[in-house]
A and B are shown apart, each in its own frame.
Chain A
Amino acid sequence: MPDAVWEPRIVAFFCNWCTYTAADLAGVSRLQYAPNVRVIRLMCSGRVDPQFILEALAKGADGVLIGGCHFGDCHYVEGNYKTFRRMRMLNRLLLALGIEPERVRLEWIAASEGDKLRHVVNEMVDRIRALGPLNLPERFQSWNRELSHQTPPCEGVLG
């Protein structure tokens, strides 16, 4: 059921030690932010498999936010560096897929930065709102329709 008024849907992967805790802190401090983000807790941002991001987009997310500890702060020494490297690679993949790379955002938010979390979430929602819906599931469907109606390639092309 598509919403009557479109609202950005954002999936977030937060590391247990910094960003998830920062989100808890934002709650304890009663900071108000946009309700468009759905958080999935992982132990480390290094656990974020690029497939998670692609899967989220394919299942209808308009954007994905990944939150980890600042460089040098990782609970697991260097997991965030690995995330950082993967995201650079994923960026190129997204471009190739025709998805605006700005839909995927990586942020370092420490356990004490509840206010930064609020700020990042709000900014992310504004950004996705400006980009508009991604609508990958519907796009997949229309591509599938196109493929099924396509006439077989002409045999004489190569000759």
Chain B
Amino acid sequence: MTPPQNHAPKAHRAEPRIGFYVCHCGSNIADTVDCAEIARYAASLPGVILARDYKYMCSDPGQELIQQDIREYQLDRIVVASCSPLLHEHTFRAALARAGLNPFYLQMVNIREHVSWVHKNREAATAKARDLARAAIQRVRHHQALQPIRVPIRAEALVLGGGIAGIHAALLLAEAGKRVILVERQPSIGGHMAQLDKTFPTLDCAACILTPKMSAVRAHPNITLWTYSEVIKVEGYVGNFTVTVRRKPRYINEALCVGCKQCVDACVFKDGKFPDEFNAGLSHRKPIYLPFPQATPQVVVIDPDRCLNLKTGKCKKTCVEACDRNAIVFDQQPEVHEVKVGTIIVATGYDLFDPTRLPQYGYGRYPNVFTTLEAERLVNSSGPTAGKVRLRDGRVPRSVGIILCVGSRDHRTHPWCSRTCCMHSMKLALLIREHAGAEVTIFHMDIRSAGKGYEEFYDRCLREGIQFIRGRVAEVTDWAMTAKEEGHLVVRVEDTLAGFVRRIPLDMIVLAVGMEPQRDARELRRILNISCSNEGWFLERHPKLGPVITFTDGIFLAGCCQGPKDIPDTVAQAGAAAAEALALMDRGYIEQEPNTAYIDPDHCCGCKSCLPLCPYSAIQLDETQGRAFINEALCKGCGACVAACPSGSIQQHLFEDEQVFAEIDGVLSYA
């Protein structure tokens, strides 16, 4: 923490020497705003020594121009009218600093996002730009020299979600020597990828590439793995988050269990009775179970809603007898842990679209309509049928149809493309044919196979005789119109290439269900204080230049919680998130905007109005002097206390009353 050096008494103000720059941004601004006119107008305002317009202010020559002018004309205030300050404020501040001027003598005018891109009328847009420029010029004369605040960063990270994104990010951070806490709400890490059989386009086995990474997480000395746990509260800020994690009881002592599964065999339920989540409900498990063979950690879990002893207290507890390590603890309670971390990576993944929302496809009504995840478990050799593709009555399907875009690219459900279903379905088509010898038809609107080796995979499917019919399927029905259709499911579809409506009888239908945000994404977003898009995907700071950064410093995004993506993209993004977190943690400190509030002790009357307003408890009362003071290290710079102080003795750096009043006056002074 640096000493509060921003409290220096205000220097006597000489008449400022303002430099004004207006950017054309190529044609982005210049097409709608008369930049030369803005520069001419600015030059006429008091205090403005020079005003220029230039094609690209953010370019090296543009920045160099500012630096030269500062030196040559002894400018001490700079106004740049260009894009949003959220985009380039730091660029121009750095230019000021290079020229030896305090960077906080800069004010930006947003005439791109707020003017040229949202208005077409050149005259009105130019008038608006002129008003905003005048406001900035009036404001900048009140600017003060400030020092950024340095805050130390803890070198520990929290990774939320143990799918492939979370696993990859956690491993990278751990390899770099950072302590990582990986929190996963399921009993095992692995996520959706663990449920997949093979991965496109190379058809290498998902488990074979994922399992070693899962074991590495378990074994890594720098990773603390908390499965069956959820984050319930996050407090603090970048570098210093306090995270509260609730560990649900699994009724097993994790340190003692070795995953031998003797308790599972001994359970009073002789056979599995309850739908197995890992196999998408296609098989059954007992109340005590290991989620799947490669589950990490290799620790069984007891389902409290199913276990006789936990539900009724009346059970022979054969599992306890069977466990020679006494690992079963029926009175285990939820534990709440508080951990302190410097950065957080959010990798909470996605949910699959529920196809019962589209009743025309018959899911849940016709037994032989499956989802892609169910089909995935059917072709998996460790799945419920040991890799044999079977209908629900045990028959081998002779013909299979895969319907694409179920819950994607559909304005009745989700407008977005889920990106993976085309490739996923083509992969399933090849696997189903290999495992069942069935004829496979894919119903699509278009095949989206953008990715390395993806188009080649599509070619391979075409070559190897997978049928493709272009058209959105109208319905799946069991109502036969001809003898040939009897006993089959019939897909009714307009074949848009042939130009007529077809009825195609098939044995088995697979619905390629799209991705949607986790159902509780909005609750998590509140806990983390990050933003969501309207659809519920977590919002990145910039779609191109900040794809893994959030608006909350120190929190990063990886994988499908940000939007649908396939495994290679997820891993790449997880790596990027880990790198961003590392860059922060390795530097050891961050420089924060010095927009903190401060109290003029000569005017504060100690009324304590401000004290309850501060959510960070940064304001304290000095009882002896009867004055309040603000701890700069705790202040986050919202300004709520400034607006409320009855005596006007609280001010906020960068947003001083006189600066805002100057801006108000500036936008309203008629030209």
Contact = CB atoms under 8 A, between A and B. Distances in A.
B384 interface: no
Nearest to B640: A46
A73 B639 contact: no
B86 A42 contact: no
B655 A111 contact: no
Given A44-B640, A49-B642, A31 B118 contact: yes
Interface string B649-671: 00010010100110111011111
Interface stretch (B64-72, B261-269, B531-539): B531-539
Given A21-B86, A52-B664, A112-B532, A77 B615 contact: yes
A48 B113 contact: no
Q: Which of A9, A43, A47, A77 has the most CB of B within 10 A?
A: A47
B551 A21 contact: yes
Nearest to B127: A35
B121 interface: yes
B643 A46 contact: yes
A52 B135 CA distance: 14
Contacts of A42: 639, 655, 660
Contact of B117 (A1, A30, A47, A72): A30
Contact of A82 (B114, B124, B125, B640): B640
A47 B668 contact: no
Contacts of B534: 112-113
A30 B637 CA distance: 31
B551 A27 contact: no
B668 A76 contact: no
Given A21-B551, A32-B120, A75-B552, A60 B668 contact: yes
A47 B637 CA distance: 9
B671 A40 contact: no
B119 A35 contact: yes
A17 interface: yes
Given A20-B86, A32-B119, A47-B655, A40 B667 contact: yes
A27 B112 contact: yes
B533 A112 contact: yes
A41 B85 contact: yes
Contacts of A49: 642-643, 657, 660
Contacts of B127: 35
B53 interface: no
Given A28-B117, A113-B534, A47 B664 contact: no
A60 B84 CA distance: 26
Contacts of B671: 1
A38 interface: yes
Contacts of A26: 113, 118
Contacts of A38: 128, 131-132, 135, 667-668
Contacts of B595: 43
Given A24-B113, A27-B84, A40-B663, A9 B668 contact: yes
Contacts of A61: 668
Interface in A88-117: 110-113
Interface string A54-79: 01100111000000000011011111
B527 to A, nearest CB: 10
Interface in B93-116: 110, 112-115
B539 A27 contact: no
B529 interface: yes
B605 interface: no
B663 A27 contact: no
Given A20-B86, A35-B128, A49-B642, A111 B539 contact: yes
Nearest to A110: B531
Contacts of B526: 72-73
A40 B642 contact: no
B208 interface: no
B644 interface: yes
B114 A23 contact: yes
Contacts of B117: 27-28, 30
Contact of B531 (A41, A76, A112): A112
B636 interface: yes
Nearest to B134: A38
6 contacts: A35-B119, A35-B121, A35-B124, A42-B660, A76-B615, A77-B615
Interface of A: 1-2, 9, 11, 16-18, 20-21, 23-24, 26-28, 30-33, 35, 38-44, 46-52, 55-56, 59-61, 72-73, 75-79, 82, 86, 110-113, 118
The 6 A-B residue pairs with the shortest CB-CB distance, nearest first, are: A27-B113, A47-B639, A46-B640, A76-B638, A38-B667, A44-B638
